[in-house]
Amino acid sequence: MKNNIKVERAKKNITQAQLAEMVNVSRQTINAIELGKYNLSTILALKIAHVFNQNLHDIFELEENDWQS
């Protein structure tokens, strides 16, 4: 799944560690999500979108290969 977390973090000047603390996960989890190596839960996706005051679809985008899993 493609995401814009890194861009949104830069806009708000938030580090991975700060975002991780806000949504109660590790910095490594945020890094893995940004790199597309972690399939996050719906609740975590909603928490991240809430931090950035964005719609879920503005942060996360399904890619074609996501439909096949």
pLDDT at 67: 81
**Considering the domain 2-63, what is its CATH architecture?**
Orthogonal Bundle (1.10)
> Where exactly are the structural domains of the chain?
2-63
pTM of the model: 0.90
2: enclosing H helix or E strand: strand 2-3
The proportion of the chain whose per-residue pLDDT surpasses 70, expressed as a percent, equals 99
Across 1-69, where does the E strand assignment appear?
2-3, 60-61
Question: According to the model, what pLDDT value does residue 69 have?
Answer: 59
